[in-house]
Amino acid sequence: MEKDKRKELTGYALVAASAITFSAKGIFAKLLYRYGIDPVTLLALRFAMSMPLFWAAVLFFPSERVSWKDIFYVGLSGFLGLYLAALADFYGLLYIDASLERVILYAYPAFVIVWTTLFFKEPMTRRKLFSLGLTYLGLALVMKVFQGVERAQMIGAALVLFSAVIYSLSYIFTEVFSRKVSGVKMSAYATTAAAFAFLGTWGAGAGTIPTEAGAWWLLGALAIVSTFIPVLTINLGIKRIGASRAAIASFIGPVSTAVLAWAVLGESLEPVQLAGMILVMAGVLVVSFERKVKPVDE
């Protein structure tokens, strides 16, 4: 009994670590934009620098071989969730604050409900409808739809919302193949697919590589702190406590982003946006309590 309790506490700690380190992603991006780095160059360097770390982890966490078919679909999941979603997300950060970006992006569990209803014929219960209603009302408040919003801010919010939709699709891929492929290998294959996609996009546009030492320190921190660590710890955390409770534990993410944005970037949130943040998190919390997903076996 004591062993199970320790395992559960370790799982919550791993998920919290993942949420906090991943939440710093927007902060690093905002700081790197000050060096004149464009989103494609930033993302290409981010995944190129983190990819070797994931393959090193594969050596430390050996598992069964994976079929080429599964590798293809896991790579497709990485293309959607790490390439398309990240591209839209980081372009959105050009227009809106990092704290708002995190709240909008965190609406993805609500979209997962829509996809599972369409693809897996899961029933759309009253709880799910209530959750979707809370989430969308919260997003409307966060984006200040009822007060009028500047065109640039609306573009940024729409890009981040699109990122949340795409990420939710990759979540479906992950849920389907996670029982056949270990979490560490899924991370490695997905990251590799995203890295090559970004490097190809960057090469086609001939982006400029930064020369300042400060930019490279930030890129290294982004690759390690907000890419490698959160992906690895969330997989280990879900293994211990399951996806449903992991989603609840990750609620610390939007809060930590708001705190970091205030402390590092001097950002602030209006009362109506704070209310929207609470509604979004409440909506996702309702979803988390209903969706019961068994822990993923490594």
Which residues lie below 8 Å from residue 161, measured CB to CB, with a gap of 6+?
104, 107, 139
144 has a pLDDT exceeding 70: no
129 band by pLDDT with thresholds 50, 70 and 90: confident
pLDDT the model gives residue 229: 92
pLDDT digits (tens, 9 = 90+) for 153-192: 788 888 988 998 887 787 677 667 766 777 788 888 988 9
What are the sequence ranges of the domains in the chain? 2-290
Could you tell me the pTM of the whole model? 0.72
pLDDT the model gives residue 200: 87
294 has a pLDDT exceeding 50: no
Please tell me the number of Cα atoms within 13 Å of 163 on its side-chain side. 23
Q: How many C-beta atoms lie closer than 10 Å to residue 252's C-beta?
A: 17
pLDDT digits (tens, 9 = 90+) for 207-242: 678 889 999 999 999 999 999 998 778 777 776 776
143 band by pLDDT with thresholds 50, 70 and 90: low
CA pair distance 11, 237, nearest whole angstrom: 4
243 band by pLDDT with thresholds 50, 70 and 90: low
Among 296, 288, 194, 292, CA closest to 249: 288
Among 51, 76, 38, 41, CA closest to 201: 41
Separation in Å, CA 45 to CA 60, 197, 273? 24, 12, 33
41 has a pLDDT exceeding 70: yes
